[in-house]
Every structure is written in structure tokens, then in C-alpha cells.
Structure 1
Amino acid sequence: MADTPSSVRHGATGAPRFKLGMRCLAGSVTVVALQGVGGTLLGVTATAVCSLSAEPPSLIACINRGSLLASGLFEDARFSVSILSEGQEDIAKAFGGQKGVAGRDRFVYGEWYRSEHDVPLLVGARASFECRVAGFLDYGTHRAAIGLVTDVHMSEDAERTLVFADGRFGTVG
């Protein structure tokens, strides 16, 4: 085995070093949204979303447990995952807490509509998945919700996907 290249930096493990390393992992920018108890709309920006299975169609969405949305991701709850497209950076920032708005006020960013199951869906997203929580796991700071996909909405106009890496937005597609 070769010696470690001099260009490789070593450091202690822990949350700061982990977060620094994870900044190198590019991810699609999504908004996870739901109608909470009492009809309150909730949503957060998330890049920790991935496919789980094609049969049955399902995905995993990892949400910080400190968010109000995480508490709404209980068994059988319905939620959406909207993959943002080019030009939707303001939506990502609003739902990521960078615009100084919270709760329902975040939904003034972008054009939203409700599915027949009252799931909030974003107009102009590359794709939006309607899901039902099939299970979840609380681990460390996050709740990983398994979403059984019940419907997929595709945009005919959006051509590029919004991504985030190294603290910056970009696009692919």
C-alpha cells in the first residue's frame, strides 16, 4: 500500500470535521412539506433525500429533529418532496431559514397547490413526490422518514435540477 499523499489533510473526527467533509457531497435541493396538525403548513429545505426502492416505490428523507416538520413525520402522515429546479434558489433559502420566515410564511416563496390528499406541491419543481410515511428512524440529530411514494408529478418546463455543494448552489441537467 502506498504512503498517504501529502495533499491529504488529516484531522480529528467529530461533528465539525464531519460537516466539512459532507460539504463535498453534492446533493439535489429539495423541499419536504406537509400539512401539520390543525392545518398548519410546514416545510424545510433538505439535501438528505434519496431513493430507497423501486418496488415498492419509496424514498428516504432525513430531517433535523429540531424542526417542527420532523414531528409531523409520524406513521401514515402524508408529505411531499419537491426537487427544486434552476431559478428556485430563493425557495431553497426561505425553507432553509435564510430569509427570516418560518412556518406558513415560507409558502409565499414559490407557487404552491394542494393534491387531492392535501399535500402541498410546488409548481415548477423538476419533480414532486407525494408520499405516505411507511416508517421512520430517529437517530442522533435527525429523523429518517421512509416515504412510500403514492404519486409523482413532473414539470414539463423545468430542465435543470438545483444542486448544493461546498456552500453554493449550482445546476445540472
Structure 2
Amino acid sequence: MDISVNHAPHIIPVIDRQAFRDGMSRVGAAVHIITTAGVAGRAGFTATAVTSVSDDPPTVLVCLNRTGRTASVLTENQVFCVNTLAAAHQPLADVFAGRGGLAGEERFGHGEWDSLATGAPALVGALVAFDCRVVDFRPVATHQILIGQVEAVRLGPSQPALLYAERAYRQL
């Protein structure tokens, strides 16, 4: 029996953009509001592309669209806070996702905000708030990968988390 090994370079087929988006919609994730404040002002957006990188030093990663206003504000401010939302925060998630037409500072008229170590807005009542200083920005395709070292953590009340899967909010 002859067993042949194909030594041809691995060819990745072209993936249909919509098929990719449909597939990713099935990957459930926690919903967060990423906020910033500083010389460029306050801004924030709703995100699900958030993960821990390391606990030594404590570091998190956030992905955001490079063309949005918040990307330039974050770049200038160099600080951000990851606010993990409870199920009851769904209306606030919509506000920071741009639903309702509010932008920039106007969004902070919703919810109760204070700050931790960096001055970035921290949502009072969030499941957890990770207050971070930017240590790296990496452009990848249409997005910017933002890496931040955590300078403060505030644990909020234990309650059901707000999730997003299959293009809809869910609860855990």
C-alpha cells in the first residue's frame, strides 16, 4: 500500500463574508461597554470582543472598529474601562451601540458613572469593571486590537450576565 503525503502548500479557500458573520453570530459572548476619558473627551461603545490576556501582569484585550470615533478618542486618551453588563443593562448596551442616535458625551446621560484609577468612566452596578491603561494598539483588517494593563478592578453585585448570541441579547 502506497501512502502519499501531499507536500503542497496549504491553501485556504476564500470564505464568504456573510457565512463568516453568520458563523460568528453563533459564538455567544458577554456584553461590555468600553469607556474612555481624558484630553480627547469621554466616549464609549458596546463590545463583545473582549478577553483576558494574562494575570501577570493583569492584561485584557478589546477589539474595536478603527473607523469609529471612539478609536481615535481611545488612541489619544490612552486609558479605558471594560464594564461587564448585567442582564438589566440591556437598554444601556443599546445606547452605547448607537441605537437611539446618541453619540459621545450624550451616552453618559444614561446609567450611573464614576471612575477608578485612570479616570475612565466606570459603570456603577456593572458585574465587574476593569480599569486599564493602554500598553499596545495593533491594527488588524478593519479593526484595532487594544491591549490594556489593568490598574484597578471593581467587582459589582452578582446577578445574571447580559450575553449576545445569534444576533440577540440573552441572559445567563
Please state which band the TM-score falls in when normalised by the shorter chain: 0.7 to 0.9
Q: Given the superposition, is the C-alpha separation of residues 158 and 106 from structure 1 closer, same or farther in structure 2, using an over 3 Å criterion?
A: farther
Q: Secondary structure at the match of 1:19?
A: helix
Shift of 1:61: 0.4
Q: Tell me the equivalent position of 2:163.
A: 163
Q: Which amino acid aligns with 1:148?
A: Q
Q: Which amino acid aligns with 1:123?
A: V
| Residues 1:55 and 2:56 are matched in the alignment | yes
Q: Which amino acid aligns with 1:91?
A: L
Q: Tell me the equivalent position of 1:26.
A: 28
Instruction: Please provide the CA RMSD for this pair.
Output: 1.8
Shift of 1:74: 3.1
| Structure 1 segment 7-86 matched on structure 2, within 5 A | 13-38=15-40, 40-74=41-75, 77-86=78-87
Q: Tell me the equivalent position of 2:110.
A: 109
Q: Given the superposition, is the C-alpha separation of residues 65 and 46 from structure 1 closer, same or farther in structure 2, using an over 3 Å criterion?
A: same
Give the Cα separation in 1 of the matches to 2:145 and 2:49: 9
State the identity %: 35
For residues 81-128 of structure 1, what are the alpha-carbon distances to aligned partners after superposition, in whole Å with 9 as ceiling and x for unaligned? 000012100110000011211111111121111234321000111000
Equivalent residues of 1:133, 1:147 under 8 A apart: yes
Shift of 1:35: 1.0
TM-score, length-scaled by structure 1? 0.86
Q: Secondary structure at the match of 1:163?
A: strand
TM-score, length-scaled by structure 2? 0.87
Structure 2 residue runs of 5 or longer lacking an equivalent are 1-13
Q: Tell me the equivalent position of 2:6.
A: none
Equivalent residues of 2:36, 2:77 under 8 A apart: no
Equivalent residues of 1:76, 1:134 under 8 A apart: no
Structure 1 stretch 64-73 or stretch 159-168: which is displaced more?
A: 64-73
For residues 35-81 of structure 1, what are the alpha-carbon distances to aligned partners after superposition, in whole Å with 9 as ceiling and x for unaligned? 1434x210000000001111111010001111111123338811100
Q: Secondary structure at the match of 2:71?
A: helix
Shift of 1:19: 0.9
Q: Tell me the equivalent position of 1:88.
A: 89
Equivalent residues of 2:38, 2:77 under 8 A apart: no
Q: Secondary structure at the match of 2:148?
A: strand
